[in-house]
């Protein structure tokens, strides 16, 4: 029996993952914990995949809807996607097998802003939730859940679901207790919604544990499995150049008096470039930094260790194995400086706007007028999803996007005449950064933006073709505000699909 379960009632509900999975019925919607590979249930989804496969082998239909906080791991998204039994998936994923299920048309995917997921569930927009399966680092004597390495959608799913299964994971540090801040009033519906009383990134405004109705709990599973902690790639020259361009820009903002010396709360997306930006901050001139973001990755933990970052607010970790080990060993120390919140608080538009968050996210491509595509490859294929990038971009003090100027060995320009899908419109995007340079779009009209984006950000191989497009579009366009030649605007993508390169 696990020493992490302090409630007698819940001790009596311990069962195997297989027995728990056998309780699921065809057609159920299941809300799983998990955000960027942290705090997702590890054994139940694999057991559920076996149940689905066995039903399919018998020739029976068995499909489930899969709701999460954000991306999970091969044991959850991967295992379930491979069954072909996921009918619906929301809101963010990055698993190769789930991506395949979506792009082959097996799974319907709804790419919802992460801050919208909880309100949409409570508003009833996504239908009923039959089951919540949530990882915990423990259950206290009163039957409350002590969260693990992510909070994400857990509070919402535990409240909204008809049934609950808890995975108590002994791999997670017990010292995570006290790191979480579960703010309940945010679940209220209009007209009972009230302002969120969060003034500084590190403020604690809620509970340390999540309350549940014990009668809804149909099973408790005990596990001892690590999170999906992927190592970061070593920093390459492009990532370093992109990071330096952003840091120079921020230094100049301080010089111009538009930002205080310790900047404003930072949000940084996931991935290697974001980590390079954080590494750059470690060597940079800024002190007493704060962060109001959704994921805490290695670079942020290093910044906390160095004392350059005083506090980090997020909803989850996204750590390398080495940093996860460090976190597990030292959670009691880190919980003084780290707050993990539900994703509808970490990503709340009003809070982000009021705190003045500096947003920096990755993108697939941008067009010459400043529209950004974060999600689609060549018009139709889903990569990951919008995640929290929209929450932070529209509401940030400064909203920036980073990408290498080319992809696939130079066959693709990440600066194109027209994006093949728009996630972030020209109205929201203020700064675009590649290894070539930085385009500051603030105060510029579309035709002015085209000039700085092409000259500062495009790869030398694509600069002249982009300049030619601008000239040609001006002769064909039916207006000179955002001149386009609709017949050729997506021609570069078409050429890539037909020939394997955007180069003429
Ligand atoms: O393809 O996987 O086949 O190698 O796209 O590109 O360069 O590895 O970049 O991992 O930083 O991801 C936008 C996807 C960038 C990410 C995106 C191909 C490229 C590669 C991945 P391969 P990289 P990254 C916080 C905020 C949305 C969510 C978000 C993302 C693959 O940043 O998901 O911001 N953002 N959330 O070759 C065709 C192009 C391409 C291209 C790159 N122009 N055309 N393919 N690729 N550029 C986190 C959360 O919200 C949880």
ipTM entry: 0.98
Q: Is 468 a catalytic residue?
A: no
The per-residue pLDDT for 72 is: 97
The per-residue pLDDT for 338 is: 98
pTM of the model: 0.97
Which residue in 75, 159, 253, 294 is the catalytic one? 294
* Integer Cα distance of 393 and 395 in angstroms: 6
Could you say which residues of the chain have pLDDT below 50? none
* Integer Cα distance of 359 and 279 in angstroms: 16
The per-residue pLDDT for 149 is: 98
Residue nearest to atom 4 of ligand 1 (CA): 408
* Integer Cα distance of 394 and 405 in angstroms: 23
Q: How many CA atoms lie within 13 A of 191 on its CB side?
A: 0
CB 269 near ligand 1, within 6 Å: yes
Q: Which atom of ligand 1 is nearest to the CA of 269?
A: 25
201-225: pLDDT as tens digits: 999 999 999 999 999 999 999 999 9
The per-residue pLDDT for 1 is: 63
CB 377 near ligand 1, within 6 Å: yes
317-327: pLDDT as tens digits: 999 999 999 99
The DSSP output letter for 136 is: E
Helix (H) and strand (E) counts for the chain? Answer: 17, 26
CB 412 near ligand 1, within 6 Å: yes
CA of 78 to the centre of ligand 1 (A): 19
CB 271 near ligand 1, within 6 Å: yes
Do 170 and 225 contact (CB within 8 A), yes or no?
A: no
CB 387 near ligand 1, within 6 Å: yes
CA of 35 to the centre of ligand 1 (A): 17
* Integer Cα distance of 33 and 340 in angstroms: 14
Mutate to test the pocket of ligand 1, among 271, 435, 494 (most ligand atoms within 8 A of CB): 271
Q: Does residue 38 sit in helix, strand or coil? A: strand
Do 341 and 183 contact (CB within 8 A), yes or no?
A: yes
* Integer Cα distance of 322 and 330 in angstroms: 12
**Is beta strand 217-223 parallel, antiparallel or unpaired with respect to 289-292?**
unpaired
Torsion, Cα 232 233 234 238, to 10 degrees, reads -120
CB 408 near ligand 1, within 6 Å: yes
CA of 305 to the centre of ligand 1 (A): 29
The DSSP output letter for 279 is: H
């Amino acid at each position: 029996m696990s020493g992490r379960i302090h409630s007698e009632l819940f001790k009596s509900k311990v069962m195997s993952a297989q027995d728990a999975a056998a309780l699921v019925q065809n057609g159920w919607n299941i809300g799983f914990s998990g955000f960027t590979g942290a705090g997702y249930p590890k054994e139940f989804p694999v057991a559920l995949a076996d149940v689905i496969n066995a039903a399919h082998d018998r020739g029976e239909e068995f499909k489930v809807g899969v709701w999460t906080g954000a991306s999970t791991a091969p044991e959850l998204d991967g295992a379930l996607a491979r069954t072909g039994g996921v009918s619906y998936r929301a809101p963010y994923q990055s698993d190769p097998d789930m991506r395949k299920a979506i792009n082959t048309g097996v799974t319907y995917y709804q790419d919802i802003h992460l801050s919208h997921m909880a309100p949409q569930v409570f508003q009833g927009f996504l239908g009923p939730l039959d089951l919540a399966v949530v990882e915990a680092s423990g259950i206290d004597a009163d039957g409350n859940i002590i969260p693990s390495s992510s909070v994400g959608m857990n509070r919402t799913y535990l409240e909204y679901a008809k049934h609950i299964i808890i995975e108590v994971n002994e791999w997670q540090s017990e010292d995570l207790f006290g790191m979480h801040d579960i703010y309940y009033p945010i679940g209220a519906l209009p007209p009972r919604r009230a302002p969120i009383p969060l003034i500084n990134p590190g403020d604690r405004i809620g509970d340390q544990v999540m309350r549940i109705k014990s009668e809804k709990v149909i099973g408790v599973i005990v596990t001892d499995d690590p999170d999906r902690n992927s190592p970061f790639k070593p920093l390459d020259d492009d990532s370093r150049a992109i990071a330096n361009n952003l840091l120079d820009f921020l230094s100049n903002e301080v010089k111009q008096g538009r930002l205080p010396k310790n900047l404003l709360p930072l949000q940084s997306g996931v991935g290697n470039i974001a980590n390079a930006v954080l590494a750059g901050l470690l060597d940079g001139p800024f002190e007493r930094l704060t962060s109001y973001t959704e994921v805490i990755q290695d670079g942020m933990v290093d910044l906390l260790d160095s004392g350059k970052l005083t506090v980090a607010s997020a909803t989850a970790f996204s750590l390398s194995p080495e940093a996860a080990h460090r976190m597990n060993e030292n959670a009691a120390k880190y919980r003084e400086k780290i707050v993990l919140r539900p994703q509808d608080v970490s990503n709340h538009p009003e809070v982000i706007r009021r705190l003045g968050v500096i947003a920096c996210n990755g993108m697939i491509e941008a067009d010459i007028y400043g529209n950004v595509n974060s999600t689609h490859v060549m018009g139709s294929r889903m990569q990951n999803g919008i995640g929290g990038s929209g929450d932070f971009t529209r509401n940030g003090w400064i909203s920036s996007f980073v990408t290498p100027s080319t992809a696939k060995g130079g066959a693709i320009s990440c600066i194109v005449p027209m994006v093949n899908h728009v996630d972030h419109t020209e109205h929201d995007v203020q700064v675009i950064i590649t290894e070539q340079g930085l385009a500051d779009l603030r105060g510029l009209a579309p035709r002015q933006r085209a000039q700085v984006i092409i000259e500062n950000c495009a790869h030398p191989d694509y600069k002249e073709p982009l300049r030619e497009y601008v000239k040609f579009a001006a002769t064909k366009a039916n207006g000179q505000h955002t001149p386009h030649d609709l017949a050729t605007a997506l021609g570069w993508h078409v050429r890539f699909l037909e020939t394997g390169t955007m180069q003429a």
